[in-house]
């Protein structure tokens, strides 16, 4: 059964994932991570989707992980189940074939900022705070805060958040490159929809390929993007079609080197 705390809607070419646990500032537990993974599956499988938005309900974008969900876990369970699962699911979101926009309608803290960091574009509302407060709880960022966020935002800004406990306003975050645009309170989702609509007008194949290429250049890819691009290219060649036909017909292949 779908978890109602992760809502996925598709309108035209734009999918929207809403973290819907406002009473807990949209903090995640294990079931919500599973539901977010399923939302990514749904978006990947729907060829009509050209862009995706992730946002929160209520006063927060997300406060990260629910301390009640992980606070009593044994170390091995905490590392293997909680940290590795969250890391995998957020990487799934980051690796969607379509561009992802984070509409920061409220505070993005800890895992909430790591969730926003998985998006390609971030639009923040005035009045929110952005930071990585994990070390104040005696823990470390575990959902790629010291990995993806360093590559996307830079080493020093992550140091300031993790080591110094600094939290940034939207305008400060814009100057530091943590967000791409700042809008008035209540306008982030509408701005994200406008941006997603502009993305949806562009060539979907070009967008997907370019997103993969940027990930490679940024050092974010583990080799899967290179193999995906190579596989797509090979699949479109006459040689591959001939190779499959020759195998099926049990005859020698007659390759021509056609691209």
Residues that are catalytic: 114, 134
- Rounded to the nearest 10°, the torsion over CA 142, 55, 33, 228 is -80
CB-based contacts of 100: which residues, under 8 Å, 6+ apart? 51, 52, 53, 54, 93, 94, 118, 119, 120, 121
Give dist(CA 67, CA 64) in Å, integer: 9
Q: Which residues of 197-235 are buried (b: 16+ CB within 10 A; e: fewer)?
A: eebbeeebeebbbebbeebeeeebbeeebeebeeeeeee
Give which of 18, 236, 215 is closest to 97, Cα–Cα. Answer: 215
The DSSP element (H or E) to which 91 belongs, if any, is helix 84-94
């Amino acid at each position: 059964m779908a978890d109602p705390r992760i809502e996925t809607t598709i309108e035209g070419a734009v999918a929207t994932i809403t973290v819907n646990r406002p009473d807990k500032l949209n903090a995640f537990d294990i079931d919500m991570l599973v539901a977010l993974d399923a939302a990514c599956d749904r978006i990947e499988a729907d060829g009509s989707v050209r862009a995706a938005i992730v946002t929160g309900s209520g006063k927060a974008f997300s406060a990260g992980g629910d301390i009640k969900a992980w606070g009593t876990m044994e170390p091995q369970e905490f590392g293997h189940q909680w940290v590795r699962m969250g890391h995998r699911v957020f990487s799934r979101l980051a690796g969607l074939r379509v561009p992802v926009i984070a509409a920061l309608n409220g505070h993005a803290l800890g895992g909430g900022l790591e969730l926003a960091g998985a998006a390609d574009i971030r639009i923040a509302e005035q009045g929110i705070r952005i930071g990585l407060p994990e070390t104040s709880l005696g823990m470390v960022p575990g959902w790629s805060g010291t990995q993806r966020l360093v590559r996307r935002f830079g080493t020093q800004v992550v140091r300031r958040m993790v080591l110094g406990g600094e939290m940034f306003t939207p305008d400060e975050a814009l100057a530091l490159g943590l967000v791409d645009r700042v809008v008035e309170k209540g306008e982030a989702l509408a701005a994200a929809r406008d941006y997603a609509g502009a993305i949806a007008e562009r060539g979907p194949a070009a967008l997907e390929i370019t997103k993969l290429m940027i990930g490679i250049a940024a050092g974010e890819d583990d080799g899967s993007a290179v193999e995906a691009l190579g596989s797509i290219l090979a699949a479109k060649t006459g040689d591959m079609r001939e190779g499959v036909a020759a195998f099926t017909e049990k005859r020698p292949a007659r390759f021509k080197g056609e691209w």
